[in-house]
Amino acid sequence: MARIVARRLLQAVPLLLLLSLISFALLHLAPGDPATLLYGLEATPQDLAQARARWGLDRPLPIQYLKWLARMLQGDLGRSLVDGRPVATILAERLIATLALAVSAEALALLVGVVLGIVAAAHAGSGLDRTLTGLATLAYSIPPFWLGLLFILLFSVQLGWLPAGGLTSAAEPFALPDLIRHLILPTIVLALPLFAQFVRYSRTGLLEELHQGYVRVARAKGLGERAVLFRHALRNAAIPLVTVVGLTVPQVLSGSAIIETVFAWPGLGRLMVEAAFQRNYSVLMGDILLVGLAVVGGSLLADLCYVLADPRIRTGSS
């Protein structure tokens, strides 16, 4: 297991460097800059030149990147070009909100998706199976931003059951029940595409296992269908599903940018959108790097869970 972790970490270093290089180049080559956006059209060319010099934007791009990389390797992500606050502090403030939303959505999608996938596989070919797979396809096909706006109009505006956005209610002290109420709508919207994938993968994996020889042997020994399903087939079908869970981390983080914007959720996704409009390069680079680390961590976690679930991988046997 230690070799797997070491190999993954070694692979992550060039990947993150390449990600930072491409992101840095694309951000700085895009039209507009922070000086023009912050100072407006009334600023003189001298004012803009002084601002760019103060932020180091007047230097060649390779020099800017190398200076950013050197600071980053020392643990310094720089300061926001908008308010001068440390980027690390800004990311830390937003990280908690994104983690709460991402973990809630992943847990909800996994729980409901696997259960319904098992039900669909146990009734393969029936009307219930077709209904569940059809609902999963529909959930995957609906645009999240449209569904989010629809939920706001229905549950917040029309029915008044749930808040339309934000992390907590304004002018009220923080309370866990209030946070949960604000989490419900964005969690459901973010979880729906994941739910569809878990239904499909759990159903397909379980059906494949039910046609294996060891299942026929178990049935021949007189085991009931429920015992065959849960004691034998489901255990083996869960192994590839573990990998899918880890690989959904990029999808959760990319989808959170849309969902957090729609529901005014103060997380990393919304921060990335705000920083992009402001051309806040330092915050954007820190956000992208953090998301990249989360994706690498999700892939590593999937590998470790796979090793724990399948002893053959640890021993190198097939």
Give the span between the Cα atoms of 99 and 57, in whole angstroms. Answer: 33
Here the tokens at position 271 are: 């921060």
Q: What single-letter amino acid sits at 293?
A: L
pLDDT of res. 317? 44
Average pLDDT over residues 262-288: 88
Q: What is the mean pLDDT of residues 34-58?
A: 77
Tens of pLDDT, residue by residue over 76-119, are 888 888 888 999 999 998 888 988 998 999 899 989 988 898 88
pLDDT grade, residue 40 (50/70/90)?
A: low
Among the ranges given (81-95, 174-188, 244-258), the one the predictor scored with the smallest mean pLDDT: 244-258
pLDDT at 62 over 80: yes
- The crossing angle, in degrees rounded to 10, of helices 281-309 and 249-262 is 140
pLDDT at 188 over 90: yes
Written as six digits, the tokens of 262 are: 């729609």
Nearest to 198 by CA among 106, 131, 128, 129: 106
Q: What pLDDT does 187 receive?
A: 93
What is the distance between the alpha carbons of residues 201 and 133, in angstroms, rounded to a whole number?
11
pLDDT attached to residue 86: 92
- CA distance to 17, 170, 285, per residue, from 72 (Å): 11, 36, 10
Answer CATH for 88-267 from 2.30.40.10, 1.10.533.10, 3.30.70.100, 1.10.3720.10? 1.10.3720.10
Structural contact between residues 188 and 195, judged by C-beta atoms closer than 8 angstroms = no
Helix 176-210 to helix 234-247 angle (10° resolution) is: 130
Average pLDDT over residues 142-146: 88
pLDDT confidence of residue 316: 46
pTM over 0.85: no
